[in-house]
Amino acid sequence: MGVFEEIKGNYVKELITKGLREDKRGMMDYRNIKIVKDFIFHAEGSSIVDIGSTKVLAGIKMQVGTPMEDTPTDGNFTVSAELLPLAHAEFESGPPSPESIELARVVDRGIRAANCIDLSKLFIEEGKVWEVYADIYVLNYDGNLFDASTLAVMTALKNTKMPKYENGKAVYEERTTPLPINAVVASTTFGKIGSTLLLDPNINEEAALDARLTITTDGKRVRAMQKGLDGSIADSELDNLVDISIMKYKELNEKIENAVKEE
Amino acid sequence: MANKANAPKLLVDGKRIDGRTTNQLRPIKITAGVLENADGSALLKWGNNIVLAAVFGPQESTPRHTADPVKATVKCRYSMAPFSSMGEHNRSGPNRRAIEISKVTKEVFENVIFLNDFPGSEINIFIEILQSDGGTRAAGITAAAVALANAGIHMKDIVYAVSVGKVGDDLLLDLNMIEDNYSDCDMPMAISPRNGELLLLQMDGNITREEIQKAIQMAKDAGKIISAAQQEALLKVYKNVEKEIENGV
Amino acid sequence: MKNIILPGALISETPIKMENTYLDNGKTFSKVIGLYDPEKKQIIPLEGNWLPKVNDIVVGIVTSSKGSVYEVELFFFGRGLLIGGKFEDIKFKTGDVIEAKVKDIEDNKTVILWDARALRGGTLLSVKPTKVPRIVGRNNTMVEQIARITKSSIVVGTNGIIWLRGEFIGVATTAIKKIEREAHTEGLTDRIKNMLENEMLKFDKQV
């Protein structure tokens, strides 16, 4: 990002050569993860996730709409993301940046590929389906938006109550039916500095990365992958990271479950 | 305004739809310093409104040529989240209403900020309406004032804002969304508590000269409660640290 | 505890000349959120970005050079310039971290620096400029205590940028962040000393 982050990045690289991270974490440890559900009750579902100081709010909205031409009996699912200008001094207002679009599409990909929402269950009647909108609102940026956003959207979806359908309209004041969720995915984002691989890079570590890799799994199978930045990944490294990603799923899924159960 | 034929009864025996009296504020709770990167911030819950305000500055003007050599430039962005309303999904991006609110909000703070103390710089105010239920511009201004103080911006005063509306012959303080939709008048105001002057004033509907003065007085009376909430939020930032030290954290 | 006051708070019913205040109708009011010391007749701001003053010691990053003129990022709303030439035998490159003194301020926003030296290696920490006096301490006692106990090199910039180098700067950083949070309280010096010694003991135990 800026010159300050560059200096911090150089220091990160120096520590990495000694096998250390600034906050004393293990290479494959997450920062402290906190998930709170139902922050915005006007939304059909919502959640705020903190990973370290990164803070992401996800809101789910549902409305009655028309299906896509090629899937006339399926509902629609759309993910959008905004890197709000209040999240970091370098974020600007304006049309969606490539970073925010990539974030939305990567989160979307994992959830859609695992069929987390059975879109066929969102069919109402001919020409009418439920549309599910997931909006990712980044409130504070300290690295690793992918994992925070996937956790936030997933928790929000698991907590979504559908509006009642009556006389051709959605009745928002009555929301009791939970959105049918088939599967839960979790993403794990890794960074590569030299030959060292690390999990959950914070903002200073992101400034030092050669490559970044996000792997989304449902605990058994890989559902989405996204490599970022201009460095490269070897196939042996990839194999190792997929293994770690599947292992980490349990920890992340448990956090989602606990958040959803909270009263 | 919505179709009056379907209007719910907004006032029955002196009680409003949510049980309040005509002169009662919705509950307000403010937390300052909630965001790490912003220079100042505040999370405000006002009835069912949830507003996040943040301030960056004084910082470098971008683009450079927009810098005013003599004073700070204030920029303000009021924006509603797509999931903020009890209803359909709102499309992202500034609409005309948001742009107007951003402008009049900016003008409030241009009055109270000592712009000459930060020449050539930019002060950015961001107001995100995360959940809306009527009176969001007043909530936004009230939250932004806390965020500005939290950021250490030099100001004459901590401004508050509130709206007063009218149903039939009754003036109602702090309209929620349903009341705003069906009322005969809505008058949002921002006031500097130190001298009682109006820094934001808008109105649409139908109101008499006497009612305007009554409404201003209602706002000022409510202002005591709103100001207290703002002050408490700002002082709590430091009190919390003191408590932690006492508890040996 | 000194009094915490907010913008618009009444300081005096008569006009007083005091930094961080303004006059209105013959009365004096506070402009800032700060600690008010009625005896010393002083308001110490608790928040706010750096407003440059002549003789401030700052830490910055060289962002460009043209001949013997260097642009230095000082992390405030204006720009920093370091002018070399006959009187200063200095050669810096883009990306260098430097410590320098504020010589002059032009149009209230261009800071002219001199007395610069490079700070090699280490890392930077950003703190609120209003907390710097507490981090430095009276006669530098606080920062020297931290540097001594953690065996670190530390330079604190009035602009809120701190340079640190050494094996245990993690402990130094924790101490500085603690001072930043507790700057408005009493008994801080002892709490920091205890914290530093406890943290450093952990390393001795590991050996």
High-pLDDT (> 90) share of chain B, %: 84
Is residue C140's pLDDT more than 50? yes
CA–CA separation, A20 vs A5, rounded Å? 18
Q: What is the pLDDT of residue A54?
A: 98
Q: What is the pLDDT of residue B249?
A: 58
Q: What is the pLDDT of residue C108?
A: 81
Q: What is the pLDDT of residue C158?
A: 97
Task: Give the number of domains in chain B.
Answer: 1
- Are both C3-45 and C57-118 of the same fold? yes
Architecture of the structural domain at C123-206: 2-Layer Sandwich (3.30)
Q: What is the pLDDT of residue C207?
A: 44
Structure tokens given for C122: 């280490």
Phi/psi of residue C95, nearest 5 degrees? 100, -15
Q: What is the pLDDT of residue B241?
A: 87
β-pairing verdict for C161-165 and C69-73? unpaired
What ipTM describes this predicted complex?
A: 0.95
C180: buried, middle or exposed (CB in 10 Å: 19+, 13-18, 0-12)? Answer: middle
CATH of the domain at B116: 3.30.230.70
Structure tokens given for A68: 């896509």
Please provide the CATH number assigned to the domain covering C3-45: 2.40.50.100
pLDDT digits (tens, 9 = 90+) for A180-191: 999 999 999 999
Residue in chain B closest to C7 (alpha carbons) equals B157
Q: How far is CA B27 from CA B46, B83, B174, C3, C8, in A?
A: 6, 22, 11, 28, 24
pLDDT digits (tens, 9 = 90+) for B20-36: 999 999 999 999 999 99
Is residue C60's pLDDT more than 70? yes
Answer yes or no: is B20 within a domain. Answer: no
Q: Please report all neighbours of A, defined by 3+ CB atom pairs within 8 A.
A: B, C
Residue A200: closest CA among A211, A187, A210, A188 = A188
Q: What is the pLDDT of residue C85?
A: 62
State which H helix or E strand residue B106 sits in.
helix B96-112
Task: Mark the ranges of chain B whose per-residue pLDDT is less than 70.
Answer: 1-5, 249
Portion 106-145 of C in contact with A at CB < 8 A: 121-124, 126
Please provide the CATH number assigned to the domain covering A3-261: 3.30.230.70
Interface-testing mutation among B234, B239, B240, B243, with chain C (most C C-beta atoms within 10 A): B234
Answer yes or no: is B18 within a domain. Answer: no
Q: How far is CA B77 from CA A222, B52, C9, C33, in A?
A: 40, 12, 28, 24
- Do B156 and C8 count as a contact with CB atoms less than 8 A apart? yes
Is residue C206's pLDDT more than 60? no
Residues in CB range of A107: below 8 A, 6 or more apart:
A79, A81, A134, A136, A146, A149, A150, A153, A187
> Which of A3, A8, A24 has its CB closest to that of C123?
A8
Q: What is the pLDDT of residue B34?
A: 98
- Choose between B148 and C184: higher pLDDT: B148
Query: CATH for C57-118, among 2.40.50.140, 3.40.50.2000, 3.40.720.10, 1.10.1740.10?
Result: 2.40.50.140
**Distance from B167 to chain A by nearest Cα, in Å?**
24
Tell me the average pLDDT across A109-133.
96
- The CB density around residue B224, as the number of other CB atoms within 10 Å, is 10
- Do C8 and B120 count as a contact with CB atoms less than 8 A apart? no
Residues of C in contact with B238 (CB under 8 A): 4, 46, 184
Residues of B in contact with A135 (CB under 8 A): 81-83, 89, 92
- Do A22 and C95 count as a contact with CB atoms less than 8 A apart? no
Rounded to 5°, angle at Cα A44 from A41 and A49: 70
Answer yes or no: is B222 within a domain. Answer: yes
Residue in chain C closest to A18 (alpha carbons) equals C167
Give me the domain span that covers residue B141.
Answer: 27-246
List the end-to-end C-alpha distance of chain C, in Å, as a whole number. Answer: 42
pLDDT digits (tens, 9 = 90+) for A148-207: 999 999 999 999 999 999 999 999 999 989 999 999 999 999 999 999 999 999 999 999
CA–CA separation, A194 vs A196, rounded Å? 6
Q: Which of B70-84, C78-92, C110-124 has the lowest mean pLDDT?
A: C78-92
| 3-state per-residue secondary structure call for A69-90 | CCCCCCCEEEEEEEECHHHCCC
Question: What's the full length of chain B, in residues?
Answer: 249
**Distance from C126 to chain B by nearest Cα, in Å?**
11
Residues of A in contact with B99 (CB under 8 A): none
High-pLDDT (> 90) share of chain C, %: 80
Portion 199-228 of B in contact with C at CB < 8 A: none
Is residue C2's pLDDT more than 80? no
Q: How far is CA C126 from CA A9, A208, C29, in A?
A: 14, 18, 31
Query: A–C: how many Cβ contacts below 8 A?
Result: 26
**Distance from C141 to chain B by nearest Cα, in Å?**
22
Per-residue confidence at A11, pLDDT binned at 50, 70, 90?
very high
Interface-testing mutation among C22, C47, C194, with chain B (most B C-beta atoms within 10 A): C47
Domain spans of chain C? 3-45, 57-118, 123-206
- Do B242 and C185 count as a contact with CB atoms less than 8 A apart? yes
How remote is the C-alpha of A222 from its chain's centroid? 15
Tell me the average pLDDT across C156-175.
96
Judge whether A89 is closer than 8 Å to chain B, CB to CB. Answer: yes
CA–CA separation, C23 vs C13, rounded Å? 10
Answer yes or no: is B54 within a domain. Answer: yes
Domain spans of chain A? 3-261
Judge whether B88 is closer than 8 Å to chain A, CB to CB. Answer: yes
Structure tokens given for B50: 């949830």
**Distance from A16 to chain B by nearest Cα, in Å?**
25
Portion 111-170 of A in contact with C at CB < 8 A: none
Phi/psi of residue A211, nearest 5 degrees? -145, 160
Answer yes or no: is B14 within a domain. Answer: no
* Model confidence, pTM: 0.95
